[in-house]
Amino acid sequence: MFVPERRKAILDRLNESQRVSIKELAQEIQVSEATLRTDLTRMEEEGLLKRTHGGAVLAESNDNETSFSIREKKNKTEKSVIAKEAAALIENGQCIMLDASSTALELARVLKEKQIRLTVVTSGINTALELNEHPDITVILLGGIVKRGSHSLEGTLGVNILSQINIDLLFTSANGFSIESGLTDFSVYEVELKKAMVKASKKVVALLDHSKLHKNSIASFAALDDLDIIITDSSDAESDKSALEQHGVELITVETE
């Protein structure tokens, strides 16, 4: 079993019961206890869980990741400002794609109030509903499995439709971003859909509040070379500006005060 597979198995088990023991995990996924101790230590360093004597518990931040309502409230002011900046990139008549992130939902709320003609493809159920009543916005909801607690679709059941549509801009967020790993996310299943969304888009715009920067999650869905623009409220992002420019990524930093 490869490292990403082990990590997914560990997190799946944690999401089910909030607590695991190394002994139980070793039996369930057929790897040594020594290997699991190493996995758990590294996952704790990345904020994915919290080590306990003989096992681990689900980190509070991870528990929050599974609840869309909690994520939506986190850093809401920053997300709103980022969304307004993102909306300025959108032109009348374009076809854009929004992922199921809470930041993309904020962008949908901005677009809902604008007089603009668009086609919006999304994997977010709430995002689709937010835009559904706009008279000049056509909404296409990607098919997939409804992810419990997140109001999003995951899996690649609806990916085929992307080959039939020209996507001008993809607006996506992530659980984490770093120069080395690019955009990373918590759900391995959602990552597969996001990879397809990135591949189908002419331009990719990452919407990242300060809590996402210099942080890695389980799986990467977009490398640095896949990105065109990053919009963030984090002044720390300036330290990455040189590396971003080398990869042709434009950095837009917004003020929240």
pLDDT given at position 149: 59
pLDDT given at position 71: 54
Strand runs (DSSP E) across 45-158, as ranges? Answer: 49-52, 55-58, 95-98, 118-122, 137-141, 145-147, 152-154
pLDDT given at position 119: 97
Q: What are phi and psi of 74, to 5 degrees?
A: -70, 130
pLDDT band for position 66 (cuts 50, 70, 90): very low
pLDDT band for position 62 (cuts 50, 70, 90): very low
Element (H, E) at 104: helix 102-112
pLDDT band for position 158 (cuts 50, 70, 90): confident
Average pLDDT over residues 46-75: 66
In the block, residue with structure tokens 């980190």:
59
Residues 6+ apart with CB under 8 A from 160: none
State how beta strands 49-52 and 145-147 pair. Answer: unpaired
- Pick the range with the lowest mean pLDDT from 46-55, 135-144, 150-159: 150-159
pLDDT given at position 177: 95
Mean pLDDT, the chain, integer: 87
pLDDT given at position 256: 81
CATH number of 3-65: 1.10.10.10
pLDDT (tens digit per residue) in 212-227: 998 888 789 999 999 9
Nearest to 140 by CA among 120, 118, 126: 120
**Is residue 5 scored above 90 in pLDDT?**
no
CATH number of 69-253: 3.40.50.1360
Residues carrying CATH 1.10.10.10, the chain: 3-65
Residues carrying CATH 3.40.50.1360, the chain: 69-253
How many whole angstroms separate alpha carbon 111 and alpha carbon 139? 12
pLDDT higher at 104 or 67: 104
pLDDT band for position 60 (cuts 50, 70, 90): low
The total number of residues shown for the chain amounts to 257
